[in-house]
Amino acid sequence: MFVEQSAVKIWRVRSAFILLCIAPTLCLSYWAVIRQSGAHREHIADKASMLLGRRVHIQSMTYPQLGCLMLSEVTVAGQSFTDVSVVTSGNEVRLTVDSFVPRGDTVAFVVGLVRRWLSEPVQFNKNYLIDIEKFSWHKTNSDEEENMWPLRIECVSAGSGRAIRFFKRESSQDEIRIVRTVNSQKTGGHATGHVTEVEVSAVDPIPVPLINAALSECGSSQWPLGEKATFTGHAHISNGGGDLTAECVGIIRQVDLATTTSLLPSYIQGDGEITLNRFVWSHERMELCDCVCVAERGEIEQVWIDRLVTILGCRVEDAYHQLSGSHVRAFQRLGFGLVVDSKGLQLRALPGRSGCLLESQGLPVILEPTETATLDRLAWLLSGTTPPAVPGTDITAWLLSVLPRDTIVH
């Protein structure tokens, strides 16, 4: 009897040991093997590819702790990342990236991802917080890490509103914020569409192509200024049901004048700088543009100079006529202040330039006009037709549709 009871107890202990120790260990080992397998890694990469809309490749991955995934040698849309940490909780995903420098096609990818996150709450049903430890707008050498800084991207939702914020972790003054909410104006008891707002605050220069990408989410038109153009200042744009309003104050540097005038019939070449004292847009039209434009050197077609004289009333000076007869003029300084509002167009020379707008070989070419010009003359200036006619081109037709109404002659 004693031996029989002992044998039963031993089998019970052995069975408990197998169920409570051996079986869980085997299951855990099997789980660990599966998690380290290539098939599981491809499964994670496929899920990420479906979410991002671009092919994702992962070289290796580990699970340091529950809910945390460490990825190594990750490639997304041709962009490589050495290490990526992913921490997932109930309603939030936190990603940490070691370093990132945007490439030429990165902007298009980011714009598409921003658009999808704002408009697909079912697909993107969690908040995302992305930390990039070393970020730079432009490629730097390995010994220039002081030019790189930590960037944080927050994608959050509250009720029907969704927002994305790009900002320096060390400074909240440098940021791009995109907010989309349900339009509070109702028709038939139902909200109509969304209101999208873009706010840019920049103490340090931000590339203009990136700002243009953010503005595209707001339905705002953008004029090409070149890939190297940067913006410093503050801008706020809002679009609710097609009613676009905007206000901007700041400086745009490294403006490629050839790119800026590429849509016009005549060109100017060189690098310029535009200081926006104030720019206001409301009710589908420009209300005010008060700016200063400067270029230290470059080339300008003679037709521009002739049109400034004949159409805007600029006065000729000693170097107006070019003896060589060339249709292109080299200049050493182009500078003027421009105010466009409902009163018309005011074109003025900068202080200390004795009224000179354009200098060539140290001599003044044209001087500022003595009177304010009507806004239809600005369209004539850009029409590219002889004699000037409006709308002479698609650009001038668009210009007539957005300039202040009061002084336009139809």
Read off the pLDDT of residues 284-339 as tens digits, 9 standing for 90 and up.
889 999 999 999 999 999 889 988 998 899 999 878 877 666 788 899 999 999 99
- Cα distances from 286 to residues 212, 223, 230, 385, 402, in angstroms, run 18, 14, 22, 24, 6
Closest to 322 (Cα-Cα) out of 304, 297, 335, 347: 304
Query: Is residue 47 in a domain?
Result: no
As a whole-number percent, the residues of the chain with pLDDT over 90 amount to: 26
- Cα distances from 337 to residues 22, 141, 349, 351, 357, in angstroms, run 83, 39, 6, 9, 9
Query: Is residue 145 in a domain?
Result: no
Query: Is residue 295 in a domain?
Result: yes
Does residue 2 carry a pLDDT above 60?
Answer: no
Please tell me the distance from the alpha carbon of residue 274 to that of residue 279, in angstroms, as a whole number: 12
Rounded to 10 degrees, the C-alpha dihedral 381/384/388/393 comes to: -100
The single residue listed with the structure tokens 């540097």 is: 253
Query: How many domains does the chain divide into?
Result: 1
Does residue 106 carry a pLDDT above 50?
Answer: yes
**Parallel, antiparallel or unpaired: strands 194-207 and 171-182:** antiparallel
Q: pTM for the complete prediction?
A: 0.79
| Inter-residue contact 257 to 268 (CB < 8 Å) | yes
Please give the residue range of the domain that contains residue 371. Answer: 263-276+286-410
Query: Is residue 384 in a domain?
Result: yes
- Using one digit for the tens of pLDDT, what is the confidence trace for 248-284? 999 999 999 999 888 888 889 999 999 999 999 988 8
Query: Is residue 120 in a domain?
Result: no
Query: Is residue 281 in a domain?
Result: no
| Inter-residue contact 121 to 87 (CB < 8 Å) | no
Query: Is residue 291 in a domain?
Result: yes
Q: Which pLDDT score, from 0 to 100, does residue 191 have?
A: 45
340: Cα separation from own chain's centroid: 26
Query: Is residue 355 in a domain?
Result: yes
12: Cα separation from own chain's centroid: 68
What number of residues does the chain have? 410
